[in-house]
């Protein structure tokens, strides 16, 4: 938008903007629950409420994990800002169905869990909050078994309001 179009165009843009806003509002009201996720697994509320890493893993997967060198966890040695710690995982394991991240020393240990349908590359990168220096555990569920990789990340400034 440039000044040469004059005020009429500006006004039209404003009206269009208002219309779009109203439409978005309508969409949220009428759609209600979103269809995209309705068919999928439920949100694992219970697992996210566990304070302890072992209990969170048990609530989410219900089985033990074994360390595997086929799970590559990439996280910084030292995180200067615990509020934004870039963490990623890749794996060469076949038949991966899910990948999850657990930060042992966080108030709630489970941070994120990702589901991988067939055809999706078993790798994910995200950014997590860390309250303090802690082990980060990457869990990979593959072929019905649970594998893991663990790395300690030192945090100089916590990211959970500490």
Partner 1 sequence: MASSIRVRAILNGDTTDVQTLIQHPMDTGLVKDSKGELIPAHYIQQLSFEHNGKTVFQADWGTAVSKDPYVKFAFKGAAKGDEIKVSWLDNKGATDSLTAKIQ
Residues in the site for partner 1, rule: CB under 8 A? 17, 20-21, 24, 28, 31, 34, 36-37, 40, 43-44, 48, 83-85, 88, 103, 106-108, 110-117, 119-121, 123-130, 159-161
Shortest spacing between CB 113 and partner 1, in angstroms: 4
Positive/negative CA dihedral, 56, 148, 63, 92: positive
Give the nearest distance from C-beta 12 to partner 1 in angstroms.
Answer: 17
Of 4 and 121, the one with the shorter C-beta distance to partner 1 is: 121
Contacts of 137 (CB under 8 A, 6+ apart): 53, 57, 65, 101, 102, 103, 104, 148, 149, 150
Give 103 or 140: the residue with its C-beta nearer to partner 1.
103
Q: Are 146 and 66 in contact (CB under 8 A)?
A: yes
- Residue 109 CB-density burial (10 A; 0-12 exposed, 13-18 middle, 19+ buried): buried
Nearer to partner 1, 28 or 156 (CB): 28
Q: Which two tokens stand for residue 151?
A: 């790395």
Question: Least CB distance from residue 123 to partner 1, whole Å?
Answer: 7
At 57, list the tokens.
């893993």
| For partner 1, the closer CB: 6 or 109 | 109
Q: How far is the CB of 142 from partner 1 (least distance, A)?
A: 16
């Amino acid at each position: 938008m440039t000044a040469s179009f004059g005020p009429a165009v500006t006004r039209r843009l404003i009206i269009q903007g208002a219309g779009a806003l109203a439409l978005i509002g309508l969409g949220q009201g009428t759609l209600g629950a979103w269809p995209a996720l309705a068919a999928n697994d439920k949100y694992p509320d219970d697992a996210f409420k566990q304070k302890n890493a072992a209990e969170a893993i048990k609530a989410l997967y219900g089985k033990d994990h074994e360390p595997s060198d086929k799970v590559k966890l990439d996280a910084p040695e030292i995180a200067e800002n615990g509020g934004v710690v870039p963490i990623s995982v890749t794996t060469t394991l076949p038949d991966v169905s899910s990948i999850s991240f657990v930060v042992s020393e966080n108030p709630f240990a489970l941070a994120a869990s990702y589901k991988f349908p067939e055809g999706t590359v078993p790798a994910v990168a995200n950014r997590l909050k860390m309250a303090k220096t802690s082990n980060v555990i990457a869990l990979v569920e593959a072929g019905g078994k649970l594998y893991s990789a663990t790395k300690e990340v030192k945090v100089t400034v916590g990211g959970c309001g500490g």
